[in-house]
Amino acid sequence: MRLIRQPFILISLLLLCISAKAQNTITVYDENLGLNEVIDIPENMMTEVDSLMSEWFSKTYLDKDEECQSKDENPVFPTEVYINRLQRLPNIIEMPHNEVVQKFIDMYSGQLRRSVSYMLAASNFYTPIFEEALEACGIPLELKYLPIIESALNPKAVSRAGAVGLWQFMITTSKGYDLEVNSLVDDRKDPIKSSYAAARYLKDLYNIFGDWTLVIAAYNCGPGNVNKAIHRAGDVKDYWKIYNYLPRETRGYVPSFIAANYIMNYYCDHNICPMESRLPAQTDTITINKDLYMEQVSELCNVSISELEALNPQYRTHLIPGSSGQCTLRLPSTNVASFISKQDTIYNHRLSELQNKRRTVAVSGTNVSKKTTRNRRSRGSSSSASSATHKIRRGESLSTIARRHGTTVKKLQQLNGISGTSIRAGQTIRVK
C-alpha cells in the first residue's frame, strides 16, 4: 500500500493562532483578513466519560486499569513527530497535518484523555463489527474511527438534530438504507445493522465524489452542502480548498477524524491507559414472528431486563413487535436453548397482563348521554343482572375489565375465586 504524503497545508489561509473558545468551538485567526474564524467541535466528541460509563454494557465489562504505570502527563512533541506518525498509519485516506489537526490531537490527548481511555476499551466490542461491515463494502478500514467523533462509541447517542446511534443516522437517511424507525423499533441503535448501513452510505458517497476526504465531509453535512462548497470554490474537488465554504462544524470534522486516527494508534505515546475490558458472553440471534415482551424472556430465561436492553438496543420499549414483521432477539448463547425449549410457555407468560393494546373495544357507559343512562336504570332487574357479568374478549386483562366496570382487580379476584391474574378469552366472570 502506497502512503500519500501531504505537505503542510495552510487551509487557504495563514494560521498563526488557534485557541480554545468555550467548550464546543475553537477559534482560528486569519492574519490576511485580520479576523477570527470560529469552528464548531463535533457535538458528541465532548461527551463526558461518566455519561458513557452509565450504560449497562460499560458498567458490566469495563473497569479502570488499576495496574497502569503510566504517568498522567501529556507530553508535547515537535511538529515533525506528529507529521511522521500520521504518515506511518497504514491508511488509504490521506492524513495530513496542520494546526487545526494539531488542535484536535491536543484535545484528545489532553482534556479528553479519560474519554479516549473509555473508547479504547469499547472499541474491542465495536471495531470488529465496523471492520466487517467496511470490508464487506470494500472501503477503507480507517473509517472505523468515524463513530469516535460521531458518537464517542455510545450506541444510544442522540444529537440535538435527532441523529441517533453509533453512526448518527438521521431518519431521512436511514430509510434509504433499510434501517427501520417507528414508535417501537429504531434500527439506528443496532450496532450491526447501522454499521452495514453506514458502510453502504459511505460507498455511495464515494461514487459521487471520488475522494474519501470529501466523503467524510459529506457524511457530516450532507452531499448537497459539499457540492455547494465545491461550486463556490471554482469546482475544485479538494476538501482543503473548499474548506472556507463548508459549514463550521464540517471545517472541524475532517481534522477531528484525522486526530481520532492519530490518538487511537498513538495513545501510549501520550500516557493514556485504556480501561480494562472483559469479553462479553457469546450471543446468538433468534427470529421472532409474534409479539414478545422482554419481561417474559427475563423471567423464564433468567436474563436481566438491563442485559436484554443492552443486547437489543433497537427496541424502544420492552415489546419486540414480531407480529408487525420479522424481528430478532439477541440472547447470551447459554440462554438460547432455554428459550427454544420453553418458547410456547414464554410467549403466553403474563401475556394478558403485559398487553396494553386492545384488538376490539366496546363502548362503555361513560360515553353515553345522561338521558340514556337514566333510561338504562329504569329498565328493571333483568338489565342489572346482565351488567353484573362480563364475557372476556381476546386481549383483555383483569385490570382493563376492572377499569371498565368501576371496580378493582382485587374485587374481581374475590368475586370469581381467581388467585392470580390469568384469564382466558370466552370466559364469563362476575363484575358485581
Residues annotated as catalytic are 150
Question: How many beta carbons lie within 10 A of that of residue 275, not counting itself?
Answer: 22
Do 335 and 298 contact (CB within 8 A), yes or no? no
At residue 359, the 3 state secondary structure works out as coil
Pairwise CA distance, residues 329 & 322, whole Å: 10
Query: Which helix (H) or strand (E) is 103 found in, with range?
Result: helix 99-109
- Please tell me the distance from the alpha carbon of residue 312 to that of residue 319, in angstroms, as a whole number: 11
Is 315 in contact with 180 (CB distance < 8 Å)? no
CA distances from 44 to 112, 157, 171 (A): 12, 8, 18
- Helices 99-109 and 248-266 meet at what angle, rounded to 10? 60
The three cell numbers of residue 350 are 403474563
Q: How far is CA 285 from CA 54, 288, 304, 312, in A?
A: 25, 9, 17, 10
Residue type, 102: Q
CA-nearest of 374, 423, 114 to 263 is 114
DSSP state of 42: P
Length of the chain as a residue count: 432
How far apart are the C-alpha atoms of 391 and 405, rounded to whole Å? 12
